[in-house]
Amino acid sequence: MKIVKIILTGCGGVGKEFLQLIADRSEEIKEKYGLDLVVSAAVDCCGAAIADSNSGLPVAELVDFVKKGNEVQTFSTYGKDGITGVEVIAQLDADALVEATPTNLIDGGAARGHVFEAIDKGMEIVSANKGPFVLFYKDVFKKAREKGCGLHISAATAAALPTLDVGIICLAGTRVSLAEGILNGTTNYILSEMRNKGTAYETALKDAQKLGIAETDPGYDVEGKDTANKIILIANRVFGKTLGLADIKVKGITKVTPEDIETATKNGKVIKLIGTAKILDNKIRLSVTPKAIDEKHPLALINGSQKAITYMTDTMGSITVTGGKSSPIGAAAAVLKDLINAFK
């Protein structure tokens, strides 16, 4: 039995669901994978709960506590007010960082410090947070290689959809020439409603917000930024590059009209917001744009808030993966999967 000591940073939606999965499935994970996943600390913005023994925190009690709206630093005798994530990582002897704080694409936020400190400690990095990897991938990757740390970020590249698992593991040994995907559920829902029901863009957006598919401020999604961040991370991991926001052209769906949808339909096409990474003239070209694709294309069949990715390879042909929950529990499940695969 291998004991894996974990520091969780971020106890929001994904963090809470991750703790719940650990509480519910720890015995199953021991039996199936030979891993004893121990949560040594759970950190949030105002403090942390830190275990006082090698057996870790009582996770079932902790998750019930935080799901009732309580803050981790007030949890029983384990709470420590005001301590930061970097301080916790520096002080504890842990094997893995699970980074689940909110994504910050301006300066990386607290996650930047968490990731670099954890790498300094030689920990495996499992992240649902895109920020440090989109903004500082070159530096993170270089430092992780020097320290022998693994970077596991599939939860940051379309949550439960196994984009990186397929691209890195399942296609190992192939030459991938193209990765293109529908990587944002909000935009796909809007475009699906516009095509299938003739709904106007603004109406489809409001419906998505009512259903909880779109945020109150949907700009990050509809302007293509979320898709851009995900395809950058996918390209870096699959093609072994260190690309960033300066390397991608981005166009969202805000100017797609019912007339555009109608014209595409008449021509046997379907408009989808596609994130693309392709090899052209021996360079990786990145783009995000609403694209009219043939209605027989695998991505044309993806409706509602579903997501999908297609890889083109030299020896295995075209591989498409679809589905996966777009939700905190879906992202938490991807985090748990990455954690298990890092240590099993």
Whether 248 and 338 share a structural domain: no
Whether 260 and 275 share a structural domain: yes
Whether 136 and 191 share a structural domain: no
Whether 149 and 8 share a structural domain: yes
With 0-12 CB in 10 A as exposed, 13-18 as middle and 19+ as buried, what is 32? Answer: exposed
Angle at 168 between CA 165 and CA 173, to 5 degrees: 135
pLDDT digits (tens, 9 = 90+) for 209-255: 998 888 888 999 999 999 999 999 999 999 999 999 999 999 999 99
Number of H helices and number of E strands within the chain?
12, 13
Domain harbouring 237, CATH code: 3.30.360.10
Categorize the per-residue pLDDT at 336 as very low, low, confident or very high, splitting at 50, 70 and 90.
very high
pLDDT digits (tens, 9 = 90+) for 65-107: 999 999 999 999 999 999 999 999 999 999 999 999 999 999 9
Categorize the per-residue pLDDT at 158 as very low, low, confident or very high, splitting at 50, 70 and 90.
confident
Whether 85 and 40 share a structural domain: yes
Spatial distance between the Cα atoms of 304 and 193, rounded to a whole number of angstroms: 7
pLDDT value at 325 more than 80? no
Overall domain count for the chain = 2
Average pLDDT, the chain: 95
Q: Give yes or no: 68 in active site.
A: no
Whether 17 and 36 share a structural domain: yes
pLDDT digits (tens, 9 = 90+) for 160-174: 999 999 999 999 999
Whether 109 and 214 share a structural domain: no
| pLDDT score recorded for residue 324 | 80
pLDDT value at 302 more than 80? yes
pLDDT digits (tens, 9 = 90+) for 251-287: 999 999 999 999 999 999 999 999 999 999 999 999 9
Q: Of 16, 130, 230, 272, which residue is the catalytic one? A: 230
| pLDDT score recorded for residue 41 | 98
pLDDT digits (tens, 9 = 90+) for 27-39: 999 999 999 999 9
Whether 131 and 265 share a structural domain: no
Distances in whole angstroms, Cα of residue 244 to Cα of each of 10, 229, 250: 25, 8, 12
